[in-house]
Structure 1
């Protein structure tokens, strides 16, 4: 009887532990930009897309992974990585951990036909200092891969074209992707009645350059804040709906979002669509 009573007492405790673990695994705290920490940073960050094997005559495996290691353990480390296939969103992965310095994500995907893969990751850390001040660290990484699966040639892959054949495939796949994205972005700008001449357009997959290239008329420190707050908005409005849908087995489709930087240096606009529904995110620049 005592053993039965003990088991009855343990079962609710175990169920609670399981529910807490499932909740922590499925949920992800919002990415919040705090003032950049001048004394903290990353030891290493990377994003990689690599062809690893040919499964059948018509399919192959690609490994998509992201990794970041901060110089010291942070109160909260969180990364998000997005993979696009010929301009179409293939998937989003996000992971967070408390009191750690390392975040790793890896997934093997199956592809068919010739494809142009692009992956961009945002690596973030929330640092709680002894004086109760909260600061943050951030870094973006990017990788791309062309996989050529044609009946006329043996399967191959490359990241940057070197031979004449590779340059031709780069041109073909790049042109196909650019056409698809240009059509999508123009539809979005027409829908929201945006004057294209007032903005500089940058695809989400092209943001990595701003790690070391300031926006026009801004310092690198100011650019870092603008980009950090941009990712804060992207995570809440673009990433979270997708990872929530995945947990609910709902299929969502999207293309590479476009970021429009206002030439008057007052704000930026993010345009994207989800299942054909047009979305807009406006972010005012800080009053530097």
Structure 2
């Protein structure tokens, strides 16, 4: 009787293990990559938004919401939050067979900060016949949070008083000075010829994403944006890929500078780790890829 019991127990364990393997193999590898596929012009996001809302004292509610006009095989939203030019948070939600995604996080802020949040909204659509298409959008928000004292913070997007204007100028200058020093250091380190590129900090890139970039058609712009985020997600958002192939936590890294090659073949991403290491990422966007 015991032999029968052990035999049945072994069969159950084997079946459970096989079921787990089958189940895991059926799950999308969403945490590993965002994959660019041709854009389907018939599919669009009906709503997409990134927002920063001050709560009590020094807490900011960071929200990301998006809705596609139909269910998709896979929906993903990848969001990054920066304080004074350095990464302090990430949101990377995904779901299968849905149209909508909502994410939020309460973020404590301990000092006066210029907060900037950027999100890439993505959908992977599987059509009959095995064809795969994409839909994509970008959104962003910003907020100035000023510490008056230990128990009092004020917040604004656009200054309404002389004091707020003074704080905005101070934080803008501090952030821009740090970023320009970081980017220029990377340009010198990697001997990049800036005359061959169009340069856009990620905040400016996000603003222009709904339009076309100089020298790019609408279709080329969409492909370039998709390729950018395909690389950013894998080699920056999840972890920074360094030149030697090792990985680094992106927390504390600087807002990326996007360099678009004027020959439309590739783009470069420049950033700096929290330890001050200059990072160069390269993503192909032209027909040769």
Q: TM-score range by the shorter chain?
A: 0.7 to 0.9
Question: How many residues matched?
Answer: 276
Aligned residue for 1:38? 41
**Partners of 2:196 and 2:262 within 8 A in 1:** yes
CA distance in 2, matches of 1:251, 1:258: 15
- Which residue of structure 2 lines up, in the alignment, with residue 235 of structure 1? 233
Whether contact under 8 Å (2:80, 2:118) holds in the other structure is yes
Alpha-carbon distance in structure 1 between the residues aligned to 2:258 and 2:54: 29
Following superposition, the deviation at residue 119 of structure 1 comes to: 0.3
1:246 corresponding residue in structure 2: none
SS of equivalent to 1:69: strand
Q: Do residues 49 (structure 1) and 52 (structure 2) align? A: yes
Paired residues for 1:50-65 under 5 Å: 50-54=53-57, 60-65=58-63
Q: Secondary structure at the match of 1:138?
A: strand
Using the TM superposition, name which of 175-184 and 12-21 deviates more: 12-21
Q: Is the 8 A contact 2:72 2:124 kept in 1?
A: yes
Q: Find the aligned partners of 2:250 and 2:218 in 1 and give their Cα distance.
A: 38
Closer/same/farther in 2, CA of residues 212 and 28 from structure 1, 3 Å limit: same
- State the 1:273 CA deviation: 2.5
2:180 aligns to what?
182
Offset of residue 25 of structure 1: 11
Name the residue aligned to 1:267: 266
Question: Which structure 2 residues correspond to residues 125-274 of structure 1 after superposition, within 5 A?
Answer: 125-151=123-149, 155-241=153-239, 252-274=251-273
Structure 1 residues 138 and 68, CA, compared in 2 at 3 Å: closer, same or farther?
A: same
* 8 A Cα contact 2:266 2:283, kept in partner: yes
**2:281 counterpart residue number:** 281
- Within 2, Cα distance between the matches of 1:139 and 1:184? 28
Are the aligned partners of 2:37 and 2:133 in contact in 1 as well (CA < 8 Å)?
yes
Residue 148 of structure 2 aligns to a residue whose secondary structure is: coil
Residues 109 and 17 of structure 1, relative CA distance in 2, 3 Å threshold: farther
Structure-2-length-normalised TM-score? 0.83
Worse-matched range after superposition: 82-91 or 143-152: 143-152
- TM-score normalized by the length of structure 1: 0.84
Shift of 1:284: 3.5
CA RMSD after TM alignment: 3.2
Asked whether 1:75 is paired with 2:78, we answer no
Give the superposition deviation at 1:215: 1.0
Q: 1:129 to 1:157 in 2, by over 3 A?
A: same
Q: Distance in 1 between matches of 2:162 and 2:41?
A: 46
Check the 8 A contact 1:113/1:150 in 2, yes or no: no
Mark the runs of 5 or more structure 1 residues left unpaired by the alignment: 55-59, 243-248
Q: Is the 8 A contact 1:210 1:223 kept in 2?
A: no
Distance 1:17 1:111, change over 3 A: farther
Change (3 A) 1:94 1:152: closer
